[in-house]
Amino acid sequence: MSTLLPPPGAESVAGRIAIVAAPTEQATEALNRLIAAYGNAPLDEARMVVALGGDGLMLETQHRLLGRNLPVYGMNCGSVGFLMNDFREDGLPERLALAQAAILHPLRMRAFVGQGDPLEALAINEVSLLRETRQAAKVRILIDGKRRLEELVCDGVLVSTPAGSTAYNLSAHGPIVPLGANLLPLTPISAFRPRRWRGALLPAEARVVFEVLEPEKRPVAAVADYTEVRDVRRVEVWEDRGVALTMLFDPDHGLSERIIAEQFTV
């Protein structure tokens, strides 16, 4: 889900911008030029963060700022940059003042391994279950406590946020979901049986449970963005409304517009 909020004006953010960059030559050069022009505030004193890189850096930065909900304005110095704005050196405070804020809520994954305590992680893009060996995974799917699919034989299955619906979810032939639709795509990855099942669109408040069948013979890993838990037996996924993340976008290139435009890309 997203909400548009006005960020602080250009004058109020001057000197309060923290700039982070991916460890690439292009991003590092851009970082040095922006620091020379605008300075670089410590993260604990910043009102906004500018992230230079690709979508991976945006995810890394948001995870780093969990609990603080600092607005992050990404500029593309990477390859994909779906969550990033175009890179320009000039007028950065003014661009930040005009940017639109998309408020996102991540997915929370609770993964059970053996008899120990469950492991938890947050995902801004998706939570995916993936087979660990040559054997296909067998997974039972429950939605809000009701069995919806008794046995899915597949390479994997994922639940995506709307913001992440254009990432792995789209590559797995899942639907693109506009922000604000209050829907979560549930998408199989290379489903073998039932062969014709293409997934489902779930209400944002749904609680999804995956039960791994034959876990010794067919081990499965669960991944929340870049947190991986191997040999899971049961995985619970839900949208965590108690955590908010803010991404800033230029008015003519907001995240909602990108999600709509992506559906007409051929």
Instruction: List the binding residues for NAD(+).
Output: 55-56, 125-126, 155, 163, 166-171
| Residue 193: DSSP 8-state | B
| Residue 91: DSSP 8-state | T
Can you tell me the distance from the alpha carbon of 78 to that of 75, in angstroms, rounded to the nearest whole number? 9
CA distances (Å), origin 180, targets 104, 229, 246: 9, 30, 14
**How is residue 220 written in tokens?**
């499965």
- Token pair 């947050």 is at which residue? 122
Cα dihedral 230/236/240/242 (nearest 10): -100
**Burial profile 11-24: b = 16 or more Cβ within 10 angstroms, e = fewer:** eebbeebbbbbbeb
Provide the annotated binding site: 55-56, 125-126, 155, 163, 166-171
Gyration radius of the chain's alpha carbons? 20
204 phi and psi, to 5 degrees?
Answer: -60, -25
Catalytic annotation, pick one of 44, 55, 250, 252: 55
Please, which residues bridge with residue 76 across strands? 53
Q: Can 225 be counted among the known catalytic residues?
A: no
Can you tell me the distance from the alpha carbon of 158 to that of 173, in angstroms, rounded to the nearest whole number? 11
- Token pair 């600092």 is at which residue? 70
Q: Catalytic residue numbers?
A: 55
